[in-house]
């Protein structure tokens, strides 16, 4: 056994213990997770490397886990001829793999060695099922109506080949090598059962890059995520997670993920004056405070008018149109990654937001808000929705269970 293997094995005990106390879970975009170092080996790792997130629990990880620095999204279609039994074997393999990797262990079979020196680095693997999965596995009767296709929005420019899919895996970690290692392992473990349909890579700020935990910025430079629902709020669970009383009990504790690849037209955006950029959103760029005053967390005064009698936050400002108060309470947990896939043929950056939002029901979250944004958001001329996916993400597995077992063995 190599030294590296040795240190990763010693790590396991401590991370497992930390996982059991739920140390690593916190509000999205919020508090920095606790480190789990408890001996000399671990002390050598930074808090970033030694932080582990539990795989088992009521909800899958990667939903309320603080944003990680690196993200990979990968969608698969079951291979021709593969059905329910292949899907069961695949979810067993992926779940065992996720449990190993999230504890900082190498994969039991065919590990590539890419993450050997690293701790778990807040790695999470989150698994979801697309609408077509239920046709492929003969489980249509178990398919919740929440997976009905999203409506077409007038501004959509979607590429079907980079949209949807039978299965979806979201990988996040605070170390790029740990994240890539997990991505490769997931792909290899798919074996002959499933083929990659599309794959996207994203990033966020590295933990510790700022002098205090702060809401992230996106590639337009805006503070993005301020008004996300917080786990401490009384209606958080109701909004984000499927309750126990549901027509499809296998989704208890689960959530629906809407994934949109949103290209930012940065050349156009960056031509705007700072004042104009701030009016597009309705918030200050420097600190994310509402244009109506205060700090980032001050409530936005949507009715406030200026000396000229006009609304301070314009009626087409993004933050106004998207606000739950303007959408019969519709809310979602936004947990995105930025992306940059190089420079397009026309010389513009192929960059933007891998917008991922979580909700108990897309018809009470993403859909009504996007309908409204589609009709008159000041941000629309500067963004383009290029790909889309909707996935049912079941609740977290109990110890000894695999993800999706309650569906696949129903
Ligand atoms: C359909 C849902 C949404 C899409 C798509 C979306 C795209 C998008 N948003 C920004 C930047 C910001 N969004 C902000 C707030 C905000 N956005 C949505 C929804 C979608 N955004 C909601 C529900 C909210 C919260 C509104 C509220 O409760 O007041 C903000 C302001 C800061 C914040 O609260 O997060 C920014 C900035 C971009 C760049 C973008 C597409 C690329
Ligand atoms: Fe937004």
Question: HSE on the CB side for 4, CA within 13 Å?
Answer: 9
| pTM, full prediction | 0.91
* Probe target for ligand 1 pocket from 297, 318, 325, 378, with the most ligand atoms within 8 Å of CB: 318
**Residue bearing the CA closest to ligand 1, atom 26:** 323
Backbone angles phi, psi at 198, to 5 degrees: -155, 160
Partners of 387 in the β-ladder: 261
| Residue 389 contacts residue 258 (beta carbons within 8 Å) | yes
Which residues, judged by CB distance below 6 Å to any ligand atom, belong to the binding site of ligand 1? Answer: 218, 220, 222, 224-227, 260, 262, 264, 281, 283, 288, 318-319, 322-324, 352-353, 355, 366, 369-370, 373, 383
384 token code pair: 């383009």
Q: What pLDDT score does 77 carry?
A: 98
Q: In the block, which residue shows the tokens 């629906």?
A: 256
Distance 275 CA to ligand 2 centre (A): 18
Continuous H helices in 330-396:
366-376
Mean pLDDT by groups of 10 residues along the chain of 410 residues = 33 33 28 42 73 98 98 98 98 98 96 96 98 98 98 98 98 98 98 98 95 95 98 97 96 98 98 98 98 98 97 98 95 98 97 98 98 97 98 98 97
Continuous H helices in 174-299:
176-190, 236-240, 266-269, 274-281
Residue closest to 108 by CA, chosen among 118, 117, 98: 98
Asked if this assembly's ipTM is beyond 0.95, the reply is yes
Distance 224 CA to ligand 1 centre (A): 7
**Residue bearing the CA closest to ligand 1, atom 1:** 370
Instruction: Find how far residue 269's CA is from the centre of its chain.
Output: 25
Residue closest to 240 by CA, chosen among 365, 140, 85: 365
Q: What pLDDT score does 263 carry?
A: 98
CA–CA dist 77, 27 (Å, integer): 32
């Amino acid at each position: 056994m190599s030294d590296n293997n040795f240190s990763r094995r010693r790590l396991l005990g401590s991370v497992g213990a930390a996982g059991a106390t739920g140390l690593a879970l916190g509000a999205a975009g919020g508090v920095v997770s606790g480190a789990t170092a408890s001996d000399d080996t671990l002390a050598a790792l930074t808090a970033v490397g030694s932080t582990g997130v539990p795989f088992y629990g009521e909800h899958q990880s990667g939903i309320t886990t603080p944003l990680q620095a690196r993200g990979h999204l990968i969608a698969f279609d079951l291979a021709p001829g593969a059905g329910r039994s292949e899907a069961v074997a695949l979810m067993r393999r992926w779940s065992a793999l996720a449990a190993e990797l999230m504890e900082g262990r190498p994969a039991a079979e065919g590990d590539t060695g890419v993450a050997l020196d690293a701790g778990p680095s807040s790695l999470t693997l989150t698994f979801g099922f697309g609408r077509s999965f239920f046709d492929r596995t003969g489980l249509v009767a178990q398919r919740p109506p929440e997976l009905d296709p999203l409506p077409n929005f007038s501004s959509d420019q979607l590429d079907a080949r980079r949209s949807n899919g039978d299965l979806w895996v979201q990988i996040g970690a605070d170390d790029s090598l740990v994240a890539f290692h997990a991505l490769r392992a997931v792909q290899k473990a798919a074996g002959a059962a499933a083929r990659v349909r599309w794959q996207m890579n994203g990033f966020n700020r590295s933990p510790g890059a700022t002098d205090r935990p702060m809401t992230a910025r996106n590639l337009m430079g805006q503070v993005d995520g301020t008004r996300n629902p917080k786990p401490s709020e009384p209606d958080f669970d109701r909004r984000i997670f499927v309750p126990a009383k549901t027509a499809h009990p296998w989704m208890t504790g689960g959530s629906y993920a809407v994934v949109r690849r949103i290209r930012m037209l940065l050349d156009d955006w960056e031509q705007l004056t700072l004042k104009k950029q701030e009016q597009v959103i309705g918030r200050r760029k420097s600190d994310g405070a509402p244009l109506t005053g205060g700090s980032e967390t001050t409530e936005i005064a949507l009715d406030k008018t200026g000396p000229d009698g006009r609304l301070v936050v314009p009626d087409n400002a993004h933050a106004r149109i998207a606000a739950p108060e303007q959408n019969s309470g519709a809310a979602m947990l936004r947990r995105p990654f930025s992306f940059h896939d190089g420079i397009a043929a026309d010389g513009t950056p192929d960059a933007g937001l891998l917008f991922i939002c979580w909700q108990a029901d897309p018809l009470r979250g993403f859909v009504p808000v996007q309908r409204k944004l589609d009709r008159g958001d000041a941000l629309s001329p500067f963004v383009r929705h290029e790909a889309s996916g909707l996935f049912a993400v079941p609740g977290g597995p109990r110890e000894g269970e695999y993800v999706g077992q309650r569906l696949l063995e129903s």
